[in-house]
Amino acid sequence: MEKIICGIQQMGIGVPDVQEVWKWYRKFFGANVRVFEEAADAPLMTRYTGGKVHSRTATLALSMDGGGGFEIWQFTSRNTEKSKFDIQLGDFGLYSCRIKSRDVQASYTYFKENGADVQGELSNGPDGKPSFFVKDPNGNIFHVVDGSGWFRDTKHPSKCGTVAGSMVGVSDIEKSLILYRDILGYETVEYDETGTFDDLAGLPAGKGKFRRVLLTHKELRKGPFAKLLGPTKIELIQSLDRTDTQRIFENRFWGDWGFIHLCFDIQGMDALQKECEEKEFPFTVDSADTFDMGEAGGRFSYIEDPDGAWIEFVETHKVPIMKKLGWYIHLKDRKPGKHLPNWMLRAMGMNKVKD
């Protein structure tokens, strides 16, 4: 089977309290659909958890408006460790999560009126479109941007959907393009700009000099969940004047406080593995056959980008629709690249959590 990148399935977020921050994500991003919620050990991740098996609880939440989900992840066998240093723009890794909005001005007003910690002002980026940055209660930074590829209109008052990409701090954009452009299929450069930028000025170290490259994909993504996940963009950002840049997860575990991975929904894992190895991004974790999340299952793997940011791939085999009724979507034998019918995707919305 050929490699198919179906979209960004979720952004993994390490948190000290799943329920507390998920409530905030429901209020501000409309991420009120529970795909799964499960407590278990993570034996396959010992490479990144100090050689020990640690326990955790994980919740995958999404919005029926569209966008990738949030895998909200909390250690239960140890404390969730914060970075020992103040993370600044230009540090290496998943710096912020892009969130799509139907109306960025209306979203900005909603966030301000509801007491969110907005960073700086609403301002235009190099693409000429308005956006703004906001911190969640744990200090993670989200970039609310003009969105496209909506699945439904749930009339959420924030006008937001969920994950539409990421801003990734890198040390060398040319090296990083081999992964993000060539392997992950973000082949279109929307802009490549160098300088100081008004829209970054409200961020820590945001008044410095940067090179910014915004990548997207021309073709709509294919695959079972592609209509729900929607189109995404990756912005690579490289500091040109800081001498103290460091890796965001330096000396910490995968699963600790912050954006722990960017996860792509894919088909054709064997073909993807071969390509990653040929381009010197070997799998560092591979569940091989089907892993079981209790309510969901599939094959997952990890690679690292040139600066050590964790990229996850999931080839989904089973997803719950209505667990009480034993209703699951089974994907292993479906034709690669084929969309699930809209009614089936909409049925996932039955797992909505109400506040």
CATH of residue 127: 3.10.180.10
How far is residue 88's CA from residue 247's CA, in Å, rounded to a whole number?
A: 10
Q: Which residue has the tokens 């659909």?
A: 33
For strands 297-304 and 310-322, give the pairing. antiparallel
75: pLDDT strictly greater than 60: yes
How far is residue 141's CA from residue 126's CA, in Å, rounded to a whole number?
A: 19
Neighbouring-strand partners of residue 130: 124
Does residue 323 sit within a domain? no
Does residue 135 sit within a domain? yes
Does residue 324 sit within a domain? no
- Contact 6/225 with Cβ under 8 angstroms? yes
295: pLDDT strictly greater than 60: no
- Contact 159/114 with Cβ under 8 angstroms? no
Q: Across residues 297-306, what is the average pLDDT?
A: 92
- Contact 63/154 with Cβ under 8 angstroms? yes
Strand, helix or coil for residue 77 = coil
> Looking at residue 14, what is its pLDDT?
98
Lowest-pLDDT range, 260-264, 291-295, 296-300? Answer: 291-295
95: pLDDT strictly greater than 90: yes
Cα 104 to chain centroid distance, Å, stands at 20
Q: Which amino acid is at 294?
A: G
Q: Which amino acid is at 252?
A: R
How far is residue 22's CA from residue 43's CA, in Å, rounded to a whole number?
A: 25
> Looking at residue 329, what is its pLDDT?
77
Q: Quick one: which of 258, 254, 233 has its CA closest to 300? A: 254
- Confidence band, pLDDT 50/70/90 cuts, at residue 298: confident
- Confidence band, pLDDT 50/70/90 cuts, at residue 226: very high
Q: How far is CA 45 from CA 54, 194, 351, in A?
A: 9, 37, 28
How many residues does the structure list for the chain? 355
293: pLDDT strictly greater than 90: no
> Looking at residue 62, what is its pLDDT?
96
Lowest-pLDDT range, 6-15, 65-74, 181-190, 344-353? Answer: 344-353
Percent of the chain at pLDDT above 90?
Answer: 86
How would you class 16 by CB atoms within 10 Å of its CB: exposed for 0-12, middle for 13-18, buried for 19 or more? middle
Tell me what the pLDDT averaged over the chain comes to: 94
Element (H, E) at 56: strand 55-62
**Residue numbers of the domain that contains 181:** 4-318+329-351
> Looking at residue 123, what is its pLDDT?
97
How far is residue 326's CA from residue 109's CA, in Å, rounded to a whole number?
A: 42
- Confidence band, pLDDT 50/70/90 cuts, at residue 317: confident
Strand, helix or coil for residue 178 = helix
36: pLDDT strictly greater than 90: no
Does residue 206 sit within a domain? yes
Q: Which residue has the higher pLDDT, 289 or 177?
A: 177
323: pLDDT strictly greater than 60: yes
Q: How many domains does the chain have?
A: 1
